[in-house]
Each structure stands twice: as C-alpha cells, then as structure tokens.
Amino acid sequence: MSKRASFILLILVLGLSLSLTDSIALTQTQGIKTIEPIRKDDRILILAPHPDDETIACAGIIQQAVKTGAKVRVAYLTNGDHNEIAFIVYEKRLTLKQSEFIHMGEVRRREAIKAMKSLGLNEGDLIFLGYPDFGTFTIFSQFWQATRPFKSFLTRISSVPYKENLSFGAPYNGDSILSDIERVLREYKPNKIFVSHPADTNVDHRSSYLFLQVALRDLNKELPEPSVYPYLIHSVGWPLPRRYHPELSLMPPKQFSDSQINWLESVLSPEQLDKKHQAILCYKSQTESSAFYLLSFARKNELFGDYPEVTLSRQMSLKEKAVSFFGFSDMYDDSDIDALMGLDQLVETKGQVSYAVVDDFLLIRVEKTKELSKKFNAIFYLFGHSYKTPFADMPKIRIITKNNKFRVFNARSMIKHPEGVSLDLDSKVLIIKVPLQLLGNPDFILSSIKAHRGILPIDASGFRKLEIQ
C-alpha cells in the first residue's frame, strides 16, 4: 500500500473513531434526567470541602447561575492545607513546618478566588471557614467538647489559623463547624444547595454532607427546606478515561448502578466547558501533580444525586410475624436488590445492607460476599439526631466488629458494657442489634458501614438517612 493510500486510510479510520466517540457521548447519559433549570430568583449555595471541589463539580452550575442572574455563594469547609505531596511538587521543597501548612492554605485560598472570578463570581461571594483538611470527619465523629478540640497531626494546630476567614480562632470541634454552617444558612437562606456526596471516599467530603444534614435538621422550623444536590468526586477507578476529554460525558460509577441514587445532570455548553477547563487550571498547586485527574471532570455534563431517605416503621417482635428489613446494595456492585425481606426468608444477594426497627432496637443486617464468608470485620457508624437534644450532646456511636466479637465507642470513649447490643454472625449474614436508647432515642439516623477483610478496608456504604417513625 502506498504512503498516500495509507494516509487516506488513517484519516478515514480516525474520522470513524471520532464519529463513534461523538455518538457514544450523545447516548451515554440517556436515562439520566436533567436537573431543574436555574431561575433568576434562585439563591444557590455550594459547599466545598476543599478549594477546587466547587470548580470540579459545579463550574457549569456557577456559570449558568451567573448568566441567569441568580445569586451564588461558595463556602469552603477547609483551606486544603493538608495536601503536602501536591505542595512538594508545586514548590519543589519540603513543607513540614506549621507556618508552611498555613502557607499552603493561603495559596489555595488565592487560587479559589482566581478560579471563581474567572467564572463570574466576586471575592465577596466566597466564604472560607478554614477547618482542618483531612480532619473534619474525625471532628464530626469524635470531637464536640470545647475543652478538648481536635489537633491536626501534621499542622499541630487546634483552631482556625487564617485571619481572613469567617471562623478565625474557632476551635477545631463539631460545635464550631455546625454553628458556622448554620450561620451561613440562616443569613443567606439558600433554596438550592450543592454539597459533596455521602458515598465519596474522601472523609472531608463525607463530613461536609453530614454537617449539612444536621444543620438542615436543626433549622427545619426556621427556614424553608432547600433542594440538596450532592456531587461525587472521589470514587475508586472513576472517572475513566483520565485526563481532559471534553468530547465525553460524565457517567455515574459502575458500583452505583444499583444503588437507588436518582442521578441528575447539568449539560454544559462548549463555552462553559472551556471556562471550566480554564478555572481548573487556576489551581496550579494541585494540577502540577494531579492535572490528569482533575481535568477528567471537565466534560459535557456535571452529575448530582443522593440516596433516597429510608423510613423505618417500628415493628413488634411477634413470633408469628417475620421482621421486615429495608435493604439496599451500595457496598458491592454485584448484587440484586429486594426492598423488603424477612429474616426467615433469606434472599441470595451479595453485600446487601438492610435496616429495621423492632422493639426500640435498630437492627442492621449485612449479607456477606463470598470472599468475606470466613472473616468479616466492619465498622458501623451511627449518628442520631433528636429534636429534643442538641446534636453536640447526642451519642456518636461506632461499633467495631471482628469476627463474632465487637466493641462499642461513643466518640473517643469505649463503652465497656454496652447493654442491649448484640451480634449474630454466620457464614452468610451478620446482624447487629443496637438499642435506640444508646443512640439517644433519635428521630433520624445517619448510618454507614465500612467492611474489612483482615486489616484492609475493602468497601464502604455511603451514609444513609434513616427516618424513625
């Protein structure tokens, strides 16, 4: 074959490949509904765990709001001062001193201001809280006492160190973060909130969602209920392919295909996509080491979606009546779902998690995968909310299981004799029973499970909202 003929053939193949790619991009998001259009009277709040999350997840939303004339504010939970590897790459030097970590946070703050200005926002639209990067979930689950704030392992700081931030000097504890988020909600009164996802593998992303859910519960009689749109950023092996692919659409991770999440998308125009690309590049401290990852979110659409709330009706433990569990399978991606099942009628599923309330006990049932049939270790997180008790005073329960044994913690303290807690384990199913009284007799529970094989974590369920009737 001549060089000319080979060249023509190559052009034809490339043309066919591009047309197939375009066709795939057009059909990829079929079945995903479009998010509600932004209106001029919308008041949009974007909660970002770190500077750059708002751009990665919501740059298109921000541009659409600016174009429509809607109000937008961005609140940053942390200044992103813990990503020392990125800063070593960025500044070509070790950053181990306390002042250097604060410097990291100031750099990322300036980058956020630059990125948001490129999308049409002003510095006055941005709220920086400055809580510890990589520490907010530990705070949520363990640190609510003002006398003993959380201290960051690397920075050795226990209060917000940034003078420009809303929360300057606030101690690193749950009350401080919750108060600040509630203050933002009260003063701004958003009707649409975009927040990180409850199944995000990054702990700050999960805690942003948790703090917001508690704040909304606390304020539900003061403020109209807003629409909440969680965005996912960190999920194993997602999104693929990596790097900048503006010709592709962003699809939900495979492991969430049966998770009951109602995914929504916002489609970006070519101009909006280009601006999003440029805004991501404003975060030079991050893109010098992770551009291949961050730019993989610059695609034709942005995705949002939450789990449906689970309502658990109280049941009586009558011997002739099977216990009904509400089940879902977001821990593993190879399972089928049955919404209701009885204890005496086991359904062959893999990795399914189910809940029930019986005789003032919460029952959690986990069906194990084959690889976990011999050894199954897990951590159960149970955070209850009651309208009668301030959340700071509610128990923050962790139950750690190892084979057929368990330990129960309330925040940082182990409960030596947890009355009423029991664990039943066989080769296929684990059932743990927890008194609602131990959880503070909650009206609402935020629950998640992290599974282990030996000492290695292998998967986790996203935080689910359990309403107790």
For residue range 164-182, what is the model confidence (pLDDT) as tens digits? Answer: 999 999 999 999 999 999 9
- Which conformational region is residue 212 in: left (phi greater than 0), alpha (psi within -120 to 50 degrees), or beta? alpha
Alpha helices (H) in 92-135, listed in sequence order: 98-118
Distance from C-alpha of 342 to C-alpha of 326, rounded to nearest angstrom = 10
Cβ atoms 64, 118 nearer than 8 A:
no
Put simply, whether the predicted model's pTM sits higher than 0.85 gets the answer: yes
Of 359, 360, 321, nearest to 343 by C-alpha is 321
Q: Are residues 86 and 166 in the same domain?
A: yes
Quick check: 249 pLDDT over 50? yes
Complete DSSP assignment for 361-426: EEEEEEEPPGGGSS--EEEEEEEEEBTTB-GGGS-EEEEEEETTEEEEEETTEEESS-TT-EEEE-
Maximum Cα–Cα distance across the chain: 83
Q: Are residues 365 and 260 in the same domain?
A: no
Domain for residue 264, yes or no? Answer: yes
Q: Which helix (H) or strand (E) element contains residue 206?
A: helix 203-218
Q: Are residues 118 and 262 in the same domain?
A: yes
User: Who wins on pLDDT, 156 or 93?
Assistant: 156
Quick check: 457 pLDDT over 90? no
User: Which of 285, 304, 323 finishes a domain?
Assistant: 304
Question: φ, ψ for residue 233 (rounded to 5)?
Answer: -125, -50
Cβ atoms 218, 184 nearer than 8 A:
no
Structural domain boundaries, residue 339: 310-468
Report pLDDT digits (tens) over 77-95. 999 988 767 777 777 777 6
Q: Are residues 241 and 331 in the same domain?
A: no
- The amino acid present at 359, given as its one-letter code, is D
Q: Are residues 244 and 279 in the same domain?
A: yes
Res. 440 pLDDT band, cuts 50 70 90 = very high
The pLDDT value recorded for residue 29 is 57
Q: Which of 155-159, 220-224, 254-258, 456-460 has the lowest mean pLDDT?
A: 456-460
Domain for residue 178, yes or no? Answer: yes
Q: Are residues 155 and 213 in the same domain?
A: yes
What does pLDDT average to over the chain?
85
Cβ atoms 302, 58 nearer than 8 A:
yes
Q: Are residues 44 and 162 in the same domain?
A: yes
Domain for residue 11, yes or no? Answer: no
Q: How many domains does the chain have?
A: 2
Q: Are residues 71 and 176 in the same domain?
A: yes
SS3 102: helix
- Residue 282 token pair: 């404003």
Q: Are residues 314 and 397 in the same domain?
A: yes
Q: Are residues 273 and 372 in the same domain?
A: no
Q: Are residues 287 and 395 in the same domain?
A: no
Distance from C-alpha of 116 to C-alpha of 139, rounded to nearest angstrom = 28
Quick check: 372 pLDDT over 80? no
Q: Specify the CATH number for the domain of residue 115.
A: 3.40.50.10320
Distance from C-alpha of 185 to C-alpha of 320, rounded to nearest angstrom = 49
Report pLDDT digits (tens) over 110-122. 999 999 999 999 9
Q: Are residues 192 and 261 in the same domain?
A: yes
- Which conformational region is residue 100 in: left (phi greater than 0), alpha (psi within -120 to 50 degrees), or beta? alpha
Domain for residue 6, yes or no? Answer: no
Domain for residue 20, yes or no? Answer: no
Contacts of 19 (CB under 8 A, 6+ apart): none
Q: What is the mean pLDDT of the segment spanning 401-429?
A: 92
- Residue 338 token pair: 């049955």
